[in-house]
Amino acid sequence: MKASAFLIIPATVLLFVTFCTDSRLAGPTTEQGNPQIVAVVVDDVHHPVTDATVIMYRVSTLSDSTQQPSSAINIAVRQTDSVGKCSFEDISPGSYSLEATDSANNRSALTTNIAISTIKPAKPEYSDTIILVAPGGIKGVVSRGGIAGNQTNQNLRDGFIQVKIGEIDRSTITGPDGKYSFANLPAGSYTLFYYATDGFYSAKRENILVNPGVDTTLDTVILRAVPRLSPPKSLSAHYDSAAGIVRLSWQKVVFDSLRWYEVERINITVPDDTVYISYDTLFSDTVARMPKGSIIDYVVRSVDRAFNRSPNAGPVEIVVKN
């Protein structure tokens, strides 16, 4: 939390302030509990701000570089009462942020890294005074950097790159020159996610400081291509017709986030697909009970930890002879 933006007030002061009257639930609930978050919104001379809008977000994270990032999720909205106070209760454990806005006077503030660990606390896990100030902004340029995919469509250039803020629900898309901007941002610290679907390019910038009334200009961000999963190579099948067993083999895929292989058996004669999981590069399948003359195709895919699948290796085909 930035010392320039927020002031923690003593707990004894909070005891004399009533809860705000909005009773909507703050998020996923399991049981009625005490408020986990209490906030008092004031202006820059510490006068309480009545009817300020306070939005609570559940902060999203980019769990895997091949996944599209998402902005924070709006969980609940409160209006401050006559002494500038509001509270949030029944919040599932997780990481949250608060955005406070006084639309009439164009002032705002942001608090981040609010960790909630229990549904029913004995006292608020987070209590703070939020000081509203003039908003700022972020602007910058993002580029595919001439890497593969950028040259397939010259009209695309550095356009249609998604830029999302992690702490609040704000996003934009770049123009052909790669430029982007965010206006009217509460002063605070932000994380930006950049993502282009055409080549699974992604990048992240953290700890971007926005000061009151000032636009923060960032250096050009060059996207990197996320490694693509390769299908297994040298897929082959050996059919032991006497035992009624098909044995598949393929070369190991070298990929840091490889989870397993998917083996799909496709019965061409009687349309039916079955998918198996294999942690090894060898796989055996029993076809002894299938009707003679059945045509069976096999394909194999690599699967990573984010459950992204590679293109198919194969098919290889056998005809049941038993």
Q: Is the pLDDT of residue 18 over 50?
A: no
Phi and psi angles of residue 152, each rounded to the nearest 5 degrees, phi first: -75, -20
Q: Is the pLDDT of residue 20 over 50?
A: no
How far apart CA 143 and CA 281 sit, in angstroms, is: 39
Average pLDDT over the chain, rounded to whole? 83
pLDDT score at 121: 74
H helices of the chain, in order, are 11-14
How far apart CA 239 and CA 52 sit, in angstroms, is: 73
- How confident is the model over 171-182, as pLDDT tens digits? 999 998 999 999
- How confident is the model over 283-318, as pLDDT tens digits? 999 999 999 999 999 999 999 887 888 999 999 999
How far apart CA 290 and CA 179 sit, in angstroms, is: 60
3-state secondary structure (DSSP) of residue 49 = coil
How far apart CA 101 and CA 92 sit, in angstroms, is: 24
Domains, the chain: 6-131 (2.60.40.1120), 136-225 (2.60.40.4130), 236-319 (2.60.40.10)
Q: What would the two tokens of residue 152 be? A: 């397939």
pLDDT score at 149: 44
How far apart CA 285 and CA 124 sit, in angstroms, is: 58
How far apart CA 291 and CA 270 sit, in angstroms, is: 10
Q: Is the pLDDT of residue 271 over 80?
A: yes
CA angle 74, 212, 3 (to 5 degrees): 80
Q: Residue 34 to residues 77, 87, 121, 128, 212: CA-CA distances in angstroms?
A: 17, 10, 6, 16, 34
Q: Please list, in sequence order, all residues whose beta carbon lies within 8 angstroms of the beta carbon of residue 259, skipping any fewer than 6 positions away.
A: 303, 304, 305, 307
- How confident is the model over 130-167, as pLDDT tens digits? 999 999 999 999 998 765 444 445 566 788 999 999 99
The residue among 37, 126, 52 whose CA lies nearest residue 90 is 37
- Which residue is it, tokens 């998918």? 275
35 preceded by cis ω (within 30°)?
no
Q: What would the two tokens of residue 232 be? A: 């297994």
- How confident is the model over 51-105, as pLDDT tens digits? 999 999 998 765 555 556 777 899 999 999 999 999 998 888 889 999 999 999 9
pLDDT level of residue 13 (50, 70, 90 thresholds): very low
pLDDT score at 66: 52
3-state secondary structure (DSSP) of residue 238 = strand
3-state secondary structure (DSSP) of residue 16 = coil
pLDDT score at 3: 38
The residue among 304, 316, 185, 175 whose CA lies nearest residue 249 is 316
Q: Are 173 and 179 in contact (CB under 8 A)?
A: no
How far apart CA 211 and CA 137 sit, in angstroms, is: 8
